[in-house]
Amino acid sequence: MAQNLQQLKKRIKTSSSIAQIAKAMEMISASKIRKAQDCVEKHNPYARKIKSIVQRIINDQDLYSKDMEKFLKEIDGKRLVYILSPDKGLAGGLVVNLLKTANSYLRPDDYIVVVGKKASGDITRHSYNILASFEMGTKFPSYDDIYPMIDIAKKFYISGEVTKVSVICTEFKNMLIQKPAIDEIFPVKPDQEFKDDVTDYLFEPSPLQVLTDLLPFYFEVEFYSAIMNAYASEQAARMTAMKNAKDNANDISASLINIYNRSRQEKITNELLDLANGQQGM
């Protein structure tokens, strides 16, 4: 019995330690999400303005020209696909669901840029054509971090080597829901519900030239939005996973404490009975 009590003590200590570690990781993820939300709020006005001007040009029939179709019309050809994943695990089913979506979308002739170690290993095993691999990192991504990533798209799309640029990431819905999403950024798709209160624009030197010059910035805000979603989704999924782990560890610890207390009480009772029986025998 004494040995069993010692084993129970070790298991209780282990469960309590796991609960403390999980709680610490949960709090770290929660603080990172708050920072991500602040960054998203600061980024949104700039992103909305870029998207608004692009949609203004491609939705206005008076501004539209045949030369714009190379940016708007979808044609057959090779694709450039970005896959955004975490560097680390402990995020529930986020990575598995993301990779399942990626593998169902990818084609053997696609060019692939991987961001995040979790996707890099899986994509390499499937022998896809990987152009580059980047780390997602543990801190919130800045614009300086994404420039080497987006330069690849600018080079391959503008040169015509690829006809479509897509981003596969996990979309942040709320703290409990994060779903894999495929965002096809190029060619640009006109938003049929787009409305602009501005009655008139004067484009210099021409709407086509303005659109051409804006497209790199358009891709920049779209890609940065996707990588912010991926980062926020990772932290939310990890926070939820760590909360569940903490709760489970606490439940196990409480159950073991009850078993330990009953076992100790049983041991004391048996010793008292042995003592009483010994005195009666005398």
Give the number of C-alpha atoms closer than 13 A to the C-alpha of residue 86, restricted to the C-beta side.
Answer: 22
Report percent pLDDT > 90 for the chain.
35
List the chain domain ranges: 2-22+241-281, 34-240
Least confident window among 109-113, 222-226, 246-250, 265-269? 265-269
- SS3 per-residue string spanning 170-204: EEECCCCCEEEEEEEEECCCCCCCCCCCCCCCCCC
Distances (CA, A) of 202 to 69, 167, 199, 205, 210: 21, 33, 11, 9, 11
Contact (CB, 8 A) for 116 and 87:
yes
Distances (CA, A) of 125 to 95, 102, 122, 243, 245: 15, 13, 5, 32, 30
**Secondary element (H or E) of residue 79:** strand 79-84
pLDDT at res. 197: 62
pLDDT at res. 196: 67
**Secondary element (H or E) of residue 82:** strand 79-84
Confidence of residue 279 (pLDDT cuts 50, 70, 90): low
Question: Which CATH fold topology does 2-22+241-281 show?
Answer: Helix Hairpins (1.10.287)
184 or 195, which is more confident: 184
Nearest by Cα to 101 from 193, 189, 184, 169: 169
What is the DSSP secondary structure assignment for residue 66, as one 8-state letter?
Answer: G
pLDDT at res. 180: 94
Rounded Cα–Cα distance for residues 180 and 99 (Å): 9
What is the DSSP secondary structure assignment for residue 134, as one 8-state letter?
Answer: E
CATH of region 34-240, choose from 3.40.50.1460, 3.20.20.110, 3.30.70.20, 3.40.1380.10 = 3.40.1380.10
Q: What is the mean pLDDT of residues 133-149?
A: 87
Rounded Cα–Cα distance for residues 56 and 271 (Å): 87
* Partner residues linked to 168 by β-bridges: 83, 182
Question: Which residue type does 55 have?
Answer: Q
User: Taking all residues of the chain, what is their mean pLDDT, rounded to a whole number?
Assistant: 86
51 or 280, which is more confident: 51
Contact (CB, 8 A) for 49 and 179:
no
Give the global pTM: 0.83
Do 2-22+241-281 and 34-240 agree at the fold level?
no
Least confident window among 64-73, 85-94, 250-259? 64-73
**pLDDT one-digit tens code per residue, 196-240:** 666 567 777 888 888 888 888 899 999 999 999 899 899 999 999
Q: What is the mean pLDDT of residues 50-61?
A: 82
Confidence of residue 174 (pLDDT cuts 50, 70, 90): confident
